[in-house]
A and B are shown apart, each in its own frame.
Chain A
Amino acid sequence: LEEPLIFEIGGADTCGVDLPTPPPLQGRGPGGGGGADIPHPNPSPEGEGLLGRLGGLLRTDPIGLPGLSEPETVRHYTRLSRQNYAIDCGIFPLGSCTMKHNPRLNEKVARLPGFADLHPLQPEATVQGALAVIDQLAHWLITLTGMDAVAMSPKAGAHGELCGILCIRAALEARGDMREVVLVPESAHGTNPATAAFAGYRVENIPATPEGRVDLAALTARLGPDVAAVMITNPNTCGLFEREMKAISDAVHAAGALVYCDGANFNAIVGRVRPGDLGIDAMHINLHKTFSTPHGGGGPGSGPVVLSEALAPFAPLPFVRKIGDAFELIEEGDGSEAAPDSFGRMTAFHGQMGMFTRALAYILSHGADGLRQVSGDAVLNANYMLRSLEDVLDAPFAASGPCMHEALFSDRHFAEGISTLDVAKALIDEGFHPMTMYFPLVVHGAMLVEPTECESKASLDQFIAALRSIAERARSGDQSLHQAPQLAPRRRLDETLAARKPVLAYEDPSSRT
């Protein structure tokens, strides 16, 4: 049974809620003196004459929003959900997009009315527990990274990058230093150059060594008075630890620039390495990647940014400060004394509170010892994956040392005409979610596999066996791979058509041209 769109099954008269009072606003048309003359089917005493207060802008035309009764609604979304793959269904080895188990305790905790039912602008005295959550999470993030401060409000990883780069720019500006260039490695996430460009910087690439790490010599050579910052991902997107990180930081600092670290892969080293010890100045942390907050089909994220002493004064508003036994929220009004150098506000309110409660519950559950085991098991699983597959799949950096949390393969051994895409889609037919495809860009036909620490050995072995067999087929040129997937809710979808003739909203058949 195909699941129709709500616009095909819902009606303007169907409703899945019962509202406290029956009389809806109705009227013949907008304008005029408003609503005094609008017939009201069941006027209640309080209701009379109120409509004039809508400024004469009563909406009268149909909006076109279909309604469904509650049983139909539950069924529609249940059926839709069953067309999704998810971490709850099986391994989700998306390299660089870490998908861990989302503990249900965290969902429960985030829904406590004392957190979920708080307005962001309540008086501080009524939200001390919420501010304590922010403060406790901040304490953990600072301690785990060995940094000096943390900006909690960024809404996602890329927003955190922006926060970090803005801190850097604000700090440079504060010393009157108007540098223009940000250096980014070729293998970086696309958000890195996009962020730097957004903040007004010119982006230049840093080359990599053949073993998949930043070329320190090339970097050092490029450093100069025009370079504001270097953005490094560590562990990097080839799954390798940047051995020379400290030397890079020292060189960057010596040139008067600052070091931004993309912390997307912090999950590989959490509890084992403190980025602060490597000389970085700012790093965002994707709470959903390292601390397992749910990502619900593409969001929400949450991207707190840890900062060095040099950058801390420039952090955005608002932030939480503990004064005596009480927590205070420092906002614009308090800014002049409390945060004279803050670069300002990045978003309404205080950040992704719903993610903070979950992340804190996750962190407390694991503790310092557990987080260390988390990164250890994640790296163990990735290396097991790498070594179990390197004989059938090209692993370009297999000789560069142990990988961190993800194993990188390329399409080099595939027969003519067989692509990474084919292999990925074939995995779907075996019951697995594919790995990340074609990223990082520096490796041809890249396949980036990140099992995470949440997979059992049995689960890894199943996945390895499936990928081995597909890899064999790819090497031997099995053309049936082009037909995959055959067992999914859909066969391959025509993405070109979607982009060439975009249909981005439902049109009623009657109104289609």
Chain B
Amino acid sequence: MGAISKARSQAADAGKFVADWLEHRAGIVTMMEHFLYEPVPKRGAWIYTLGSATLFLITLQFLTGILLLFYYVPSTDHAWNSIYYIMNEAYFGTLIRGIHYWSANFLLAVIGLHMAQVFFSGGYKAPRELNWVVGVVLLLLVVIIAFTGYALRWDQDGVWATVVGMKIGSYSPFVGAYTIQFLMGGDTIGPATVSRFFAIHVWLLPAALAPFIGIHLYLLRRHGVFGDEMEYRERLAKLQERQRLEEYEQYEDDGEPYVGRRDRADRD
């Protein structure tokens, strides 16, 4: 046997050994098999990539967000300078912040499309109602994260958008004044506003987002992907066929010629 084939067989045995070792201890192989080889609908596969694109963009946001944390300083007089440093001095700083900014915009667009796709294809019907509710929670979290993130750069756009946002918030009946005082850390924009928005944007909401994504995926795998009615064309055809046959039998015995169901209502 040549050296190469011997090396190959030894490598194969080593691989098998490692797999068995892991399988026995952690059951990892069966779990992977269970997750990876799950049957999913075939016809509309391209439309369902919207959901995974959203997941990809959120992970992108988490990664680039953590990288930005290495340089960002959340205080009124350093925030802008630290971002200026990222954009101009840090290696690939423009790239990292660019990805964070642009994938945020794409994320909101893709979330909109994903929600529209699920709504118009009826993906929220029983037994998947909870998944829809979790989806809407995710949408709200992402929108609030986007709003708080916009203020962190503490430039003209960011500050003034926050001022207008706070003024809009102050119009909510009963709780308006309290919520914006909580968000601004007092009764005017100041250093507390930056640190509060920083805390909310960087940890509070993402920490809420992660488990909900987990639930969303768990419910998805629990009930299987409901694509669109086009995935069930043949089964629906068989169902209607069987129902029509049943209907014919019902009329044959009372001897009258069969007339369409709707017109029966008009005739009597």
Say whether A associates with B. Answer: no
Q: Which residues of A are interface residues toward B (Cβ below 8 A)? A: none
- The interface of chain B, by Cβ under 8 A from chain A, is none
